[in-house]
Structure 1
Amino acid sequence: MSDDSNDRPARARSARARKGPGGKGARPRREPDPSTVGLAARRAAVEILGRVVTGRRPLDDELRETGGHSGFAALAARDRALVRAMLGTALRRRGQIAAILGRLLERPVPEKTGIVLDILHVAAAQVLFMEVPDRAAVAIAVALADADDRARRYKGLVNAVLRRLVAERDDLLAATAQPWRNAPVWLFAGWQKAYGEEAALAIAEMHLLEPNLDLTVKADPQGWAERLGGTAIGGNTVRLARPGGRIEALEGYDAGAWWVQDAAAAIPARLLGDVAGLRVADLCAAPGGKTAQLAAAGGRVTAIDISARRLERLSQNLSRLGLSAEVVAADLADYEPAAPFDAILLDAPCSATGTIRRHPEVAWNRRAEDVASLAAAQALLLERAGGWLKPGGRLVYCTCSLEPAEGELVVARFLAANPNFARLPVEEAETGFSGLVTAEGDLRTLPVSLPREPRQDGGLDGFFAARLVRR
């Protein structure tokens, strides 16, 4: 194609532009169609919601800009932020939204794939809890149903339900405001049994709040708190209000002065004590916050994880932080160390119910039977790790779960079966907080563990940790 032909479309556009809005031949300006503006973002949110809840996929995996949901990755930054907000709201409020939709639907939607309910949940999240114009939320939901072969026959239902939702919003919200609605029955019942009715309700309420951003700093937490406009809490943690921009843009990121890690997640590594010069194993190590802690404390760390992909991220983090560790991709069922370790940190794979405030999908893509199967696997890992410890060495077993079956009960059974191990009780001063040590001497944090003080009302992740010593 010649240069002249390439230039013709540009000249034609310029000629139209010169005529201006009042010129001869000017096209009338049209208002954006509310059924198409934001359609791609809502479609991505609906598809991701189905993959997370029905497909039981981690939300973070879907929201990666590379390797995640293709529709999400193709969106502009502003629309990606909108998708995150819609999904966060739809998942944090999923139980309440389901109760409201149940009041508006005369009978369950028979559509098999769940796409209609996903459309309704995303739209309801906007109408009930977000500053989105009602007309836009309803129109786009109907357009999404009309564009999907599975949902098209239900577009009238979608329209009717959402219009009624708009009309009856205040009454519906008031009738379904109880915090327990936003946790599955089996999960909330377990919290009631373990921690009591009042604490269970407080946990469910805390899960509705966007958490703070916690950073573990290598040194000078008070100084970094002042630089970043945060608060120094619990050891080397700096707590920030959630920043609006990219975390990588914060001061100290490029210099490797800190890494992202919840304040509760930073406690278990400290329970190993002084590890300087010791040979330390970090088992199930990725993404590497605890590895970084142990390496920064002078330990000779071997970081082991079954996921080579997650270990790549761990290695990248260590490189940025100027820290080093031996990184091993291995299944712990097959792994054998060359020699026993002086200290071992086992952060066992678990249901992760202690992280619901950061990962709200966990409440909805876990099942009661998952806890039992995970507890059995955790017991095997603890038994195996115990055999790799030197006499006199310390082993910290921890999980980011609120379920005693994955924490207290695993350790109790291990100690009963292994008289050559004993519990070394945790001292309150070691945790950096107050009120986190159980009567047995273990660490137990809850989302409501931190007092509701300024800049500390984001709570903590739920963790259990026990410190054991080989006699």
Structure 2
Amino acid sequence: MARPRAKSPLPNPRRLAVRTLREIEQRQGFSNRILSEQLERFPDLDPRDRGLITTLVYGVLRHRGRLDAHLDAAADKPHKLKGELRTILRVAAYEVLELDRPLPIASAEASKAAKRIDPRGRLKGMIAKILAKVAKDKADLDARLRPGQRWSLPAWLVERWSAQLGAEGLEARARALTEVPSVDLRVDLSRSTRDAVREQLVADHPSVRFVELPEAAGDQPQCLRVRGGGDLFHGPLFEDGLIAIQSLGSQQAVRVLDPQPGERTLDACAGMGTKTIQIAEHMGRRGALVASDASAERLDELERSARARIELDADGIALQVVHADLAGPELPAELDAPPDEAGFDAVLLDAPCTGLGNLARHPELRWTSQASDVLERAGLQASLLERCAAWVRPGGRLVYAVCSLEPEEGPAIVDAFLATEAGAAFEQTKREAWTPEAQRSDGFWLARLDRVR
């Protein structure tokens, strides 16, 4: 009889954090996806180790500019700190600078993590020397760092935000973006209440802590902000669809669109369906809902995970999922019809964007984004807005939204459209920005356009 296969030995947490960071850098991929891939390889990993790995990966990405400045100042030959060695030192420096880990522990763990590239331990002395200098000089060096280095922003973004916000505004935003974000939950108010969900969360996740929203966020009955609590993807609240994980800023687009029961609504760039579900909740799951996206992969995920939550009352709502590039020359029959025959009462266009409002949750964007990305996205956004506006019935409305605070991706797109002949049929009834520094949310910008004729 064949022997059962031996389990793979569990990795050193810091070693796995280094491997994950290297993957993110080499693949230029999303940190959450690559981290999940790495953690899924070791299902028996202790929850505390999983938490440490997650903290180290996101912490290094958020503070990489500052970490590099400290390492370069401490090293005799900073140009030789390359590749995996630099990543190992970044992890250790993060533990010293941000987690207040005792220097001997951080140094010893860094040497362990370096065994793959340094089996004989020849780098041990150098690692210890550099980290000792980092610990000794941290306050003095921080005081001398430029804003981009201190708050780990690329130079082009520092220049851009300095011009937009001034020195104080830049620092306020940069500081906010280095904070570890809380988890925002969206409550399905069509089937429960905020208080009932809060009580059930405490019962299911005793270690959960609730965070008060800032006054600038206003009244947010659908949002609960939490920290801790373990894996919120488990338990009856999530499994029954009474909560979803969605940032506060992202929740505003559907709230402003305000889809009503019985209406025909289009989620034009639906992705994996987070806002599609939110639309269904606002509609009381009654009416017609079309979800479209250019990515078949994302729509497959919508079909797998979102459809069941949308169709809780299958007789009340008709959901149609359409694979289509709405900026392309050809459209599927479901959308290629005159507005008077197939128009929508409400259209949500959460347009593809640079994602520069998401630097706290997706800190890798600090190092993968470029200044040219802003204008490259703008062309696509303008095309999508023009096409989606054509599907709005007279008396209907459209919300244009982006998870970016860059003027070229938000106000400039809407202003240019309103100045066109097609845009003259619309009236802008709302325009707002959600910022990391004011609302403690992801950066998010939106405008609502009501069709008046």
Equivalent runs, 1:193-232 vs 2, <5 Å: 193-219=163-189, 220-225=193-198, 227-228=200-201, 230=210
CA distance, structure 1, for counterparts of residue 355 and residue 120 of structure 2:
33
Q: How does 1:3-82 map to 2 (within 5 A)?
A: 40-64=12-36, 67-68=37-38, 75-82=45-52
Match of 1:190 in 2: 160
Q: Is the 8 A contact 2:28 2:368 kept in 1?
A: yes
Corresponding residue of 1:461: 442
* Corresponding residue number in structure 1 for 2:87: 118
Q: 1:305 aligns to what? A: 293
Are the aligned partners of 1:256 and 1:321 in contact in 2 as well (CA < 8 Å)? Answer: no
TM-score normalised to structure 2 length: 0.81
Cα pair 1:194 1:404 within 8 Å, conserved: no
Q: Which residue of 2 aligns with 1:25?
A: none
Cα distance change, pair 422–141 in 1 and its aligned pair in 2 (3 A): farther
Deviations 1:351-388 (A, max 9, x none): 11112222222222211111121112212222222233
Please say if 1:147 is aligned against 2:116. Answer: yes
Q: Identify the match of residue 257 of structure 2 among 264, 268, 272.
A: 272
Distance change >3 Å, CA 379–CA 303, structure 1 → 2: same
Say if 1:234 and 1:263, in contact at 8 Å, map to a contact too: no
Distance 1:254 1:464 in 2: 30
TM-score scaled by length of structure 1: 0.78
Per-residue displacement from partner, 1:137-168 (whole Å, max 9, x unpaired)? 22232343341289998665434322322343
CA contact (8 A) 1:127 1:133 kept: yes
Among 382, 399, 402, the alignment partner of 1:399 is 402
Deviation at 1:78, TM superposition (A): 2.3
Tell me what 2:5 maps to: none
CA drift at 1:236: 3.3
Structure 1 residues 38 and 118 mapped into 2: Cα distance closer, same or farther (>3 Å)?
farther
Amino acid at match of 1:49: L
Distance 1:251 1:201, change over 3 A: farther
Aligned pair partner of 2:427 in 424, 427, 436? 424
Percent identical residues: 35
State the secondary structure of the residue aligned to 2:267.
Answer: strand
SS at match of 2:257: coil
Partner SS for 2:237: coil
Partner Cα separation in structure 1 for residue 179 and residue 41 of structure 2: 27
Match of 1:335 among 331, 339, 349: 331
1:445 and 2:417 matched: no
Structure 1 residue 351 and structure 2 residue 354: aligned? Answer: yes
Give the match for residue 130 of structure 2.
161
TM-superposed CA distance for 1:423, in Å, is 5.1
In structure 2, what is the equivalent of residue 109 of structure 1?
79
**Greater mean alpha carbon deviation, residues 158-167 or residues 347-356:** 158-167
Equivalent-residue separation in structure 2 for 1:367 and 1:160 (angstroms):
35
Q: For the residues of structure 2 that align with 1:373 and 1:153, how far apart are their CA atoms? A: 47
CA–CA separation in structure 2 for the residues paired with 1:420 and 1:92: 40
What is the alpha-carbon distance in structure 2 between the residues aligned to residue 374 and residue 224 of structure 1? Answer: 38
Runs of at least 5 residues in structure 1 that lack an aligned partner in the other structure: 3-36, 427-440, 451-458
Distance (Å, rounded) in 2 between the aligned partners of 1:361 and 1:151: 33
Could you tell me how far apart the structure 1 residues matched to 2:104 and 2:196 are? 48
Q: Distance in 1 between matches of 2:145 and 2:41?
A: 33
- Equivalent of 1:317 in 294, 300, 306: 306
The alignment status of 1:367 with 2:370, answered yes or no, reads yes
1:377 to 377, 380, 386: 380
Output the amino acid matched with 1:335. L
Q: Amino acid of the residue matched to residue 468 of structure 1?
A: L
Contact in 1 for aligned 2:65/2:153 (Cα 8 Å):
yes
* Structure 1 residues 132 and 281: alpha-carbon distance in aligned structure 2, compared to 1, 3 A threshold: same
Does structure 1 conserve the Cα–Cα contact (< 8 Å) formed by 2:417 and 2:423?
Answer: no
Query: Equivalents in 2 of 1:52, 1:363: separation in Å?
Result: 12
CA distance in 2, matches of 1:382, 1:286: 17
SS where residue 142 of structure 1 aligns? helix
2:268 alignment counterpart: 283
Given that 1:213 and 1:240 are in contact with CA atoms closer than 8 Å, whether structure 2 keeps it comes out as yes
The question of whether the paired residues in 2 share the 8 Å contact of 1:282 and 1:302 is answered with: yes
Residues 193 and 168 from structure 1, CA distance in 2 versus in 1: closer, same or farther, beyond 3 angstroms? closer
Write the distance in 2 (CA, Å) between the matches of 1:106 and 1:151.
21
The residue identity in structure 1 corresponding to 2:392 is L
1:415-442: CA deviation from partner (whole Å, max 9, x where unpaired): 223444455344xxxxxxxxxxxxxx41
User: Shift in Å at residue 407 of structure 1?
Assistant: 0.8
Give yes or no for contact 1:272–1:396 (8 Å, CA) kept in 2.
yes
Change (3 A) 1:393 1:149: farther
State the shift of 1:50 in Å. Answer: 2.5
Name the count of aligned residue pairs.
Answer: 414
How far, CA to CA, are the matches of 1:190 and 1:208 in structure 2?
18
Q: Deviations over 1:385-415 (max 9, x none)?
A: 2233334432211100021111111112222
| Higher-Rg member (1/2) | 1
Using a 3 Å threshold, how does the CA distance of structure 1 residues 134 and 108 change in structure 2: closer, same or farther?
A: closer
Structure 2 residue corresponding to 1:95, chosen from 42, 65, 73: 65
Match of 2:229 among 240, 244, 250: 244
Provide the rounded CA distance (Å) in 1 between the counterparts of 2:180 and 2:378: 29
User: How much does 1:318 deviate?
Assistant: 4.0
Q: 1:389 to 1:150 in 2, by over 3 A?
A: farther
Aligned-residue offset at 1:260: 1.5
Q: Which moved more, 1:242-251 or 1:143-152?
A: 143-152
- Cα displacement string for residues 261-283 of structure 1 (whole angstroms, at most 9, x for unaligned residues): 12221111122234322221102
Matching residue of 1:296: 281
2:188–2:222 Cα contact (<8 Å) kept: no
2:390 aligns with 387
Deviation at 1:208, TM superposition (A): 2.0
